[in-house]
Chains A and B, each alone.
Chain A
Amino acid sequence: DAKTTQPPSMDCAEGRAANLPCNHSTISGNEYVYWYRQIHSQGPQYIIHGLKNNETNEMASLIITEDRKSSTLILPHATLRDTAVYYCIVRVYDNYGQNFVFGPGTRLSVLP
């Protein structure tokens, strides 16, 4: 079972920031938070991951709360091409016995 809960859907206006929440209240100390997205009928695409510090790359920013029980993925200037299903996953970074568990994710619709 997925160890995360996400809202099933969200809308965002084009050009505005999209803030996607994720709850992971049972996260362990050595588990990372990963974000992927999947555009319709394509394979998932890696976005970002983090342990406890906030992270930023060319695609997005990841904000993790101090207690690590929740996080937010931020797309700073959403475009129509960001319309996709976004998956939040927690897992240990280097564990041969554990694999990614993808829940239903959040369907983000960027509106013109």
Chain B
Amino acid sequence: DGGITQSPKYLFRKEGQNVTLSCEQNLNHDAMYWYRQDPGQGLRLIYYSQIVNDFQKGDIAEGYSVSREKKESFPLTVTSAQKNPTAFYLCASSMRAGTGEQFFGPGTRLTVL
């Protein structure tokens, strides 16, 4: 079955540690996205990638980093510079950047202790 997977579903880290969230898609989509969601809020765009080896900052990129070395993978690193990292993180993909619908993964809930 085609889709987007994120792992793990729940992640706990100590304050000051970097942590990397995984996102993989087998939909052959060119574009991938990372969003952050806080309780009772909408989604805010962190980073997006239109093609392999390219990525752009979204609205709240500070304290985060990404890479896009393979078409199917777009990992997000939450660095110690992110002041409030505890949140629900959602990865999405679309056939091309900016077009049509985005398909979302199940999300990773990160809690920093």
Contact = CB atoms under 8 A, between A and B. Distances in A.
The prevalent SS among residues of A at the interface is loop
Nearest to A97: B98
A49 B40 contact: no
Contacts of A94: 96, 98-99
B88 A41 contact: yes
Interface stretch (A10-18, A68-76, A99-107): A99-107
Interface string B31-51: 001010000111111001010
Given A93-B100, A99-B58, A103-B42, A43 B106 contact: yes
A42 B98 contact: no
Contacts of A98: 98
Contacts of B85: none
A96 B97 contact: yes
Contacts of B109: 41
Contacts of A103: 42
B104 interface: yes
A42 B106 contact: yes
A44 B45 contact: no
A64 to B, nearest CB: 17
A43 B98 contact: no
A105 B37 CA distance: 12
B43 A44 contact: yes
A81 to B, nearest CB: 17
Interface of B: 4, 33, 35, 40-45, 48, 50, 58, 88, 90, 92, 96-107, 109
Interface of A: 2, 34, 41-46, 49, 87, 91-105
Given A42-B106, A43-B90, A92-B98, 15 more contacts: A34-B101, A43-B106, A43-B107, A44-B90, A44-B102, A44-B104, A87-B42, A93-B98, A96-B96, A96-B98, A99-B33, A99-B45, A99-B48, A101-B42, A102-B42
